A and B are shown apart, each in its own frame.
Chain A
């Protein structure tokens, strides 16, 4: 079992090795933005299984390596992605990896990318629903 002493398990000690890597700098921020589709949409549905020829984590590691080797990434792309993240998170659009952005990135979150290349219905397309559930042609801007 995971060692605990409190009745409600609130003191569960977690091993450092099982701790998720915090987003602390632009390097890890860029990884974050790439992982969740802000750099470019992720083909999430092709990711799933060990035997799949598509390995999301391998692509991710390639990006890590590229960044680590100092290969220049497109800084404009990073700033643009950062602003997009700030926008959807309700943060000021500074384009800078500031404290508020870092805090938002380190919140617990769902692993599904925010930008999926397969998405055809997004939050901005919620419109009127007729009784058969068909999406009517008029879209509503938020």
Chain B
């Protein structure tokens, strides 16, 4: 059985291929993996082992464009990454394990990972033993093309260091894998800063915010101070935002003034108001009308679907974007502002001729971190000229759009995972 396994695997082993780029990596972005049946550990349940490997692969997905899917059905030679445990001579491998101590695992570029089952592998956050998660993440790094890295804190250090609580991929490890596979890209349905009111120990109200990016049925919390997403994201919309459409939204608006504090989500021709106290959508509005409601009813003069929207606290208007038009909605008057809709270029003129999204904007995002409004479309964004910008450069047009930049170079590592990895 070992020789048969070795023959199966050796046929599919790919030689290193520098290709034209001069570096070595998988050429596809969705990779399959399997914990082979002959290679289960005797120390953890099979389900525990598979869970840990799912988590390990997901951790690489969270920082790179790669996605991993567990494949338990295809012929073994069709599986991209094969994992197994063994002792001494194992799994048809020519590299013997040495018993307890020293070598705990090894891996080959583009294929196999073997773990020495004479080591005391343990589940995450277990005090003693060797963290299987940490070892798996390290070995997967080799399979993906990373060598050992002699930097304190790197997951690719050759020696094992006991896992502290909250072991995660650090900045340089992210850049190392992105050096091989590129950065994460993609558009978003909406981006917003969620305002929270908290009471300090002294009884005072403090205003805090968190930044959220939403794409289809997933979302990420973006930690601006750390230039990355929250560890473990993305999460399904249903997990964090109860009652809004599971497959995604078009827009988020927070109407925040002295008289009003209301959060709305928009999708298609409908909208919902969100109950921030109870963390779910309201069942009905104050007038007894059930949500979702039609946009055309809640915002006279406007009809869905819309591309995106934002609330401008300067003039207490909601700006809705729909194709090439912008609708300014006067919240107090509950009607469209005079003269609207207008062409987006008239409302947000380009600072540099020709550098403009020209409509069909994905998201309009006011960032409290940057104190600026951004329009996002695809992988690009345009910052809207603010009052400070105009004070410094009076020649800039009001609400002008500064030259575009790339979303993935401003908000980093907002990466998809394979849908099967959303719930481990």
Interface residues of A (CB under 8 A from B): 1-2, 8-10, 12, 14, 17-23, 36, 44-45, 47-52, 54-57, 88-90, 104, 106-112, 114, 116, 118-123, 126-127, 129, 131-135, 142
- Do residues B102 and A51 form an inter-chain contact, with CB atoms below 8 A? no
Shortest Cβ gap from A43 to chain B (Å): 10
Contact B103 A51 (CB under 8 A): no
Asked whether A120 and B22 contact (CB < 8 A) given A8-B128, A20-B101, A133-B179, the answer is: yes
Which one, B2, B100, B120, B179, contacts A20 given CB within 8 A? B100
- Known A-B contacts A18-B118, A50-B6, A123-B151; A133 and B13 likewise in contact (beta carbons under 8 Å): no
A45 to B110, CA, bound (A): 10
Chain B residues near A120 (CB-CB < 8 A): 18, 22-24
B94 and A57 within 8 A (CB): yes
Residues of B within 8 A of A1 (CB): 42
Closest to B7 in A: A51
Q: Which of A22, A110, A133 contacts B148 (CB 8 A)?
A: A110
Residue in A45, A122, A132, A135 whose CB lies within 8 Å of B108: A45
What would be 13 A-B contacts, judged by CB atoms less than 8 Å apart?
A8-B128, A18-B87, A20-B99, A45-B15, A88-B150, A89-B150, A110-B135, A110-B142, A111-B106, A123-B147, A133-B178, A133-B182, A133-B183
Complex: A109 Cα to B161 Cα, angstroms: 9
Task: Among B18, B106, B185, point to the contact of A112 (Cβ < 8 A).
Answer: B106
Min C-beta distance of A110 to chain B, whole Å: 5
Task: Check A108 against B104 for contact (C-beta < 8 Å).
Answer: yes
B-side contacts of A106, CB under 8 Å = 101-102
Query: Distance in Å from the Cβ of B22 to the closest Cβ of chain A?
Result: 6
Contacts of B179 in A (CB 8 A): 121, 126-127, 129, 133, 135
State the CA gap A57–B118 with chains docked (Å): 19
Contact, CB under 8 Å: B158 / A109 = yes
B108 surroundings in chain A (CB, below 8 A): 44-45, 48
Decide: A108 and B147 in contact? CB cutoff 8 A. Answer: no
7 extra interface residue pairs, beta carbon distance < 8 Å, beyond A9-B43, A121-B180: A2-B42, A2-B43, A18-B118, A21-B99, A21-B102, A49-B9, A109-B158
Minimum CB–CB distance from B124 to chain A (whole Å) comes to 14
Whether A20 and B103, one on each chain, are in contact in the complex, defined by CB atoms closer than 8 angstroms, is: yes
Counting CB contacts under 8 A, is B409 at the interface?
A: yes
Give the Cβ gap from A38 to chain B, nearest Cβ, in Å: 11
A23 to B6 Cα, complex, angstroms: 31
Contacts of B95 in A (CB 8 A): 47-48, 56-57, 111
Residues in A whose Cβ lies below 8 Å from that of B42: 1-2
**Nearest chain-A residue to B104 (Cβ)?**
A108
Q: Is B320 an interface residue (CB 8 A)?
A: no
Q: In the complex the two chains form, what is the Cα distance from A82 to B104 in whole Å? A: 22
| Pairs of residues from A and B, 8 with the lowest C-beta to C-beta distance, nearest first | A133-B182, A111-B106, A20-B101, A20-B98, A108-B160, A20-B102, A88-B150, A18-B99
Interface contact A110-B3, CB-CB below 8 Å: no
Report the Cα distance A15→B172, complex, angstroms.
40
B76 to chain A, nearest CB (A): 14
Smallest CB separation, B56 vs chain A (Å): 14
**B401 interface hit (Cβ, 8 Å):** no
A49–B183 Cα distance when bound, in Å, is 35
- Closest residue of chain B to A134 (Cβ to Cβ) is B21
CB-CB nearest in chain B for A35: B103
B100 A110 Cβ-Cβ under 8 A: no
B221 within 8 A of A: no
Chain B: which residue is nearest A123 at the CB level? B149
Residue B94 contacts which of A55, A118, A123 (CB distance < 8 angstroms)?
A55
Q: What chain A residues lie within 8 Å of B112 (beta carbons)?
A: 48
In the complex, what residues of A have CB within 8 A of residue B147's CB?
114, 116, 119, 121-123
Question: Is B158 a contact of A110 with CB atoms below 8 Å?
Answer: yes
Question: How many angstroms from the CA of A109 to the CA of B149 in the assembled complex?
Answer: 13
Q: A12 CA to B7 CA in the complex, in Å?
A: 35
Option from B43, B94, B408 in Cβ contact (under 8 Å) with A49: B94
CB-based nearest A residue for B130: A108
B106 touches A50 (CB 8 A): no
Q: When chains A and B are docked, how far (Å) is the Cα of A62 from the Cα of B82? A: 31
A122 to B9, CA, bound (A): 27
Residue of B13, B87, B178 near A48 (CB, 8 A) is B13
Residues facing A in B143-196 (CB within 8 A) are 145, 147-152, 156, 158-160, 172, 175-176, 178-183, 185
Q: Complex Cα distance A118/B110, Å?
A: 13
Do residues A126 and B175 form an inter-chain contact, with CB atoms below 8 A? yes
